[in-house]
Amino acid sequence: MRAQLLLYSRTECCLCEEMKKVILRVAKKMPLVLQEIDVDSSAQLVEEYGNEVPVLFINGRKAFKYRVTQKELEKKLS
């Protein structure tokens, strides 16, 4: 089964880029589907997340905020 990952992020966000790189490294080892949403695309998302990005959901559940290591993500997905 492929894990469904949803990443709330924004452009020009170094933490968001770091998390995305970790996710892509893990994706080479484990089956997953990544959907990324820019919080700045919606006033509601800006209100909900503000500057608290990146936020990563795994299969609909909030899993990580701000930072994740490859080891942490692999453990959560296994």
> Any idea where the domains of the chain sit in the sequence?
3-77
In a structure prediction context, what are the per-residue pLDDT tens digits for the chain, which is 78 residues long?
A: 799 999 999 999 999 999 999 999 999 999 999 999 999 999 999 999 988 999 999 999 999 999 999 999 999 999
Tell me what pLDDT residue 56 has. Answer: 98
Reported pTM? 0.94
Tell me what pLDDT residue 4 has. Answer: 98
Q: Which residues contact 19 (CB under 8 A, 6 or more apart)?
A: 7, 9, 54, 56, 64, 67, 68
In the CATH scheme, what architecture does the domain 3-77 have?
3-Layer(aba) Sandwich (3.40)
Tell me what pLDDT residue 1 has. Answer: 75
